Amino acid sequence: MYRPLFLLIALTALLTACSSLEQRPVAMAPQPQPVRHQDAVGLVLSIEAMAAELLTNMDDPDPDSGAMAGGLVVTTFVEGKKLHRTSSFGRYLAEQLINEFQRHAFTVVEARKSTSIRLKEKRGEFGLARDEDEVSLSVAAEAMLTGTYFVSNEDIIVTARILDNKTATLLASSTVIFPRNALTNQMLADTASAKKELPPALYLKRLES
């Protein structure tokens, strides 16, 4: 007599527990913040300001007779604490600075130009490369623009510098603080490192002036 009653009580308790579990709200995973158009505009404007400050800080910024008259090569920006590591953010900084200095009538040398055009059916024609076997081993440029970035919880501190290729003398520098937002977070997440097991010389251009 007591056994069926005990089973009935246990079954009732189990059903009550299941019912309360079903009614309990499920915590939703945080949704990624959407990339906004103004984030992209702000990024471009900040890089434009960085280029302007670099030119302001140069002793002779004349594109025809100044320190960069012999050409400027722009390299990927890297993490300040790991100089072999970068991201889409570091690559884009270099891309946009190429545009900014060319817009100011400077001779910008493209180090990634491949020695031949590669034709890929259904893919396109490719003229840029990052494989040392597909690009020239020397670049004729009098100056180099490079830089580093440090990431905090809310900001990205970017320092750019222009160096004399022959003497490694610092010609100009600039520091700009970029906000972390959906766009920059997305770019920072796409990271890449140089293959440390190979000699660094295989990944660096021999710059000639």
- The domain in which residue 44 lies consists of 34-204
**pLDDT at residue 93 in the model:** 98
Question: Quick one: pLDDT band at residue 120, thresholds 50, 70, 90?
Answer: confident
Residue 1 belongs to some domain of the structure: no
pLDDT over 50 at 110, yes or no: yes
CB 137 within 8 A of CB 124: no
Query: Bridge-partner residues for 85, per DSSP?
Result: 193
Query: Bridge-partner residues for 170, per DSSP?
Result: 163
Question: Quick one: pLDDT band at residue 6, thresholds 50, 70, 90?
Answer: low
Determine the longest span between alpha carbons in the chain, in angstroms.
Answer: 106
Q: What is the mean pLDDT of residues 88-109?
A: 97
124/116 Cα distance (integer angstroms): 14
Residue 163 belongs to some domain of the structure: yes
End-to-end CA distance of the chain: 101
Residue 187 belongs to some domain of the structure: yes
**pLDDT at residue 203 in the model:** 45
Check which CATH number belongs to the domain holding 194 and give it: 3.40.50.10610
Residue 184 belongs to some domain of the structure: yes
**pLDDT at residue 82 in the model:** 93
**What's the whole-model pTM score?**
0.76
CB 101 within 8 A of CB 137: no
Q: What is the mean pLDDT of residues 118-130?
A: 82
Residue 132 belongs to some domain of the structure: yes
pLDDT over 90 at 132, yes or no: no
Residue 76 belongs to some domain of the structure: yes
Residue 7 belongs to some domain of the structure: no
**pLDDT at residue 27 in the model:** 58
**Domains contained in the chain, number:** 1
Q: What is the mean pLDDT of residues 4-29?
A: 56
> 92-106, 169-183, 187-201: lowest mean pLDDT where?
187-201
Over residues 47-61, the pLDDT tens digits come to 999 999 999 999 999
Burial label, 134 (beta-carbon count in 10 A; 0-12, 13-18, 19+): middle
The rounded mean pLDDT for the chain is 84
Between helices 37-56 and 88-103, what is the axis angle to 10°? Answer: 60
Residue 104 belongs to some domain of the structure: yes
Residues in the chain, overall count:
209
**pLDDT at residue 204 in the model:** 46
